[in-house]
Amino acid sequence: MKFKLLLLVFTQVCISQTREIDELMINGEKAYSERDFLLAKEIYTKVTIHNPKNRDGWYNLGASELELGEDENACENFYQAFLLNDGEALPLIKKHCPNFRNGSIMSLEDVEEKPKFIYKEKEYPLFEKNDINPKFTQILIRKFKSSRLLYENYRGRLYVQFKITAKDSIDLRILGLHGDEKKVKAIENEINFIFNDMVKYVSAKNKGVNVDLWEKWSLPITSK
């Protein structure tokens, strides 16, 4: 199976990460390449403890466990990599753990009821033909335009990546926002508030039970 090599790891290492993490990644690759998967698992476990946002650490931990026949543990760690936007992790989860978490996470195309949103007491589908409902984006644009904080403090282009959870809620990641730390935090809080306040979300359902979705969607947001 594919393994994340050090060449790729170095391109993603943040300046603030310690030399210890770098050395662990090197040692983990060496152990994996020598088929000492137990040692590789031990090393990559340390990486994820020291830096929980190291998606290659999670991925390689899953790869090591997969070689040890620990499929369920491997899929849990691939899932952590997936949550950190590692697109190569999801196919491995579906292949090796097709009933991952007892089917509580599904694809949009497989659920019986797709997610919805409620606006002014009226219910709308959140997606039409697997694209975001234009009604949703229209509401969002109006809310952004009416935000004084965004009007006064933000110029440029960013992306909001989101998914709908099984808790009738939206989970957001804001990408491409740079600048003064306090200003960035204020903008992030405002965007989160807008998304969570403008409508009510209704989770996808399968057999009458709320489920999480694998899919994530991105919306570009431009301010001039």
Start-end of CATH 1.25.40.10 domains in the chain: 6-103
Average confidence (pLDDT) over 70-85: 95
| Tokens (6 digits) for 11 | 């391109």
Range list of β-strands (E), the chain: 105-106, 116-119, 122-125, 127-128, 131-132, 156-164, 170-175, 200-202, 204-206, 209-213, 217-223
CA separation (Å) from 105 to 61, 65, 147?
21, 21, 34
| Domain 108-223 annotated CATH 3.30.1150 | yes
Q: Whole-prediction pTM value?
A: 0.76
111-144: pLDDT as tens digits: 999 999 999 999 999 998 878 999 999 999 999 9
Backbone angles phi, psi at 192, to 5 degrees: -60, -40
CA proximity to 10, closest of 34, 1, 23, 74: 23
Start-end of CATH 3.30.1150 domains in the chain: 108-223
CA separation (Å) from 70 to 62, 66, 120?
9, 5, 49
Could you tell me the pLDDT band of residue 17, with boundaries at 50, 70 and 90?
low
Assess whether pLDDT exceeds 60 at residue 12: no
CA angle 199, 187, 12 (to 5 degrees): 105
Rounded-to-integer distance, Cα 97 and Cα 66, Å: 11
Rounded-to-integer distance, Cα 172 and Cα 85, Å: 13
CATH of domain 6-103: 1.25.40.10
Assess whether pLDDT exceeds 60 at residue 40: yes
Rounded-to-integer distance, Cα 35 and Cα 38, Å: 9
Assess whether pLDDT exceeds 90 at residue 24: yes
Average confidence (pLDDT) over 144-170: 91
